[in-house]
Structure 1
Amino acid sequence: MYQNVLFPTDGSDGADAALAHAVDIARQYDATLHVLFVAKDDFGPSGMVEKEHDGVRRSEMVGGEELARERKEASKTGMTSRPHDEHGAVSEHGRHVVEDAAAGIDDVAVETAVVPGTPYRAILDYADEHGVDLIVMGTHGRTGLDRYLLGSVTEKVIRTADQPVLTVRMRDQ
């Protein structure tokens, strides 16, 4: 029934909750499991990344602790003195995320990919290009109102995918 199962991940706990389901389905149907990370491509000229939270777009630096000083500088001026290789940093992070997800999977064929783009659109494009039969995604909500809401990427994929989409809610800890 399924030959290609897609597991898009951002490395979050919500996404990780869906991994076991994706592996089990791929194992049961002797399917190939595709582990995908989308490196969001909306970097502005300042090296900032636009993120949306509660319907409000905010700029935020991508990277680790070494960017703390530059984050402060960027909040004052909107610019950084850092060379603009932030997309490379996100892609490198994505490579680690997909490698970590694939590392513990035995007896299932696994393909990993890191692609640039708008997350929901890149997931749909990848699914179409690779003959994906099922998309398995995590939700991010755990408590309160979030328990009843899907992540915006998951919701867009559900509404627009040609393939069936299995969503897995993270268990309360």
Structure 2
Amino acid sequence: MIEIKKILVPTDFSETSRYAMQYAINFAKSFNAELEIVHVIFDESQIVAFYLPQVTFQNLDQELEESAKKQMEDFINSFPELNEVRYSTKMLKGTAFVEIISEAKAYNADIIVIGTHGRTGIEHVLFGSTAEKVVRKAPCPVFTVKPKNFNFRLP
């Protein structure tokens, strides 16, 4: 039988991440597994407006970390059912898919539960997909969750 004892849950605090979190919590309850909820803070070469649209570059790292910690706290607090499972949170810094894969190895994750953004066409070509890169390179199975009410369109 497949054992799932450690579940890695990357989040970018989006609605799709919230939806994926619901799956992760249910898996944790079903398998009596623990969750590690991670967020990857963009490194300086990436767009910082995601966290702080009016930021100056002075003390940028500290401001990004403080903002991300607050968003993580709000994210966690929005899931009261987390009180029924063992979980921890962690902030990472760097390129999202690289950090997620590294953490999955370090945490010895049995599965990764990650939301996708459902990008298609040119948007997918331009921005790529963190979830897709994680699926291709992860050391364990990856359960991907599409946005709620996602409608796939054939090209």
Is residue 100 of structure 2 the alignment partner of residue 100 of structure 1? no
Aligned to 1:110: 87
CA RMSD of aligned residues (A): 2.6
Residues 19-78 of structure 1 show CA distances to partners (whole Å, capped at 9, x for unaligned) of 10000001111111111001121x1xxxxx534xxxxxxxx646435x1xx7xxxxxxxx
What is the SS of the residue equivalent to 1:125? Answer: helix
User: Of the two, which has the highest radius of gyration?
Assistant: 1
Residues 1-35 of structure 1 show CA distances to partners (whole Å, capped at 9, x for unaligned) of 11110110011112111010000001111111111
3, 6, 13: which one aligns with 1:11: 13
Q: Give the direction of change, closer, same or farther, for the CA distance of 1:88–1:109 in structure 2 (3 Å limit).
A: same
58, 61, 64: which one aligns with 1:84: 58
Distance 1:92 1:11 in 2: 15
Once the 2 structures are TM-superposed, how far is the Cα of residue 99 of structure 1 from its aligned partner? 2.2
Q: Conserved in 1, the CA contact under 8 Å of 2:101 and 2:138?
A: yes
Is residue 137 of structure 2 the alignment partner of residue 160 of structure 1? yes
Q: Conserved in 1, the CA contact under 8 Å of 2:35 and 2:88?
A: yes
Q: Give the direction of change, closer, same or farther, for the CA distance of 1:62–1:154 in structure 2 (3 Å limit).
A: closer
Aligned to 1:130: 107
Q: Give the direction of change, closer, same or farther, for the CA distance of 1:97–1:2 in structure 2 (3 Å limit).
A: farther
Is residue 46 of structure 2 the alignment partner of residue 50 of structure 1? yes
Q: Conserved in 2, the CA contact under 8 Å of 1:140 and 1:151?
A: no
Q: TM-score, normalised by structure 1?
A: 0.72
Show structure 1 runs of 4+ deviating over 6 A: none
Distance 1:63 1:131 in 2: 29
Q: Please list, as runs of the form range in 1=range in 2, the aligned pairs for 1:51-70 lying within 5 A after superposition.
A: 51=47, 61=49, 63-64=51-52, 67=54
Percent identity over the alignment is 28
Aligned to 2:23: 21
Residues 56-113 of structure 1 show CA distances to partners (whole Å, capped at 9, x for unaligned) of xxxx646435x1xx7xxxxxxxxxxx35222222222221233233322121001000
> Unaligned stretches of 5+ in structure 1?
44-48, 52-59, 71-81
What is the SS of the residue equivalent to 1:50? Answer: coil
> Unaligned stretches of 5+ in structure 2?
151-155
Q: Give the direction of change, closer, same or farther, for the CA distance of 1:167–1:64 in structure 2 (3 Å limit).
A: same
Distance 2:72 2:4 in 1: 21
Aligned residue-pair number: 143
Distance 1:62 1:4 in 2: 29
Q: TM-score, normalised by structure 2?
A: 0.80
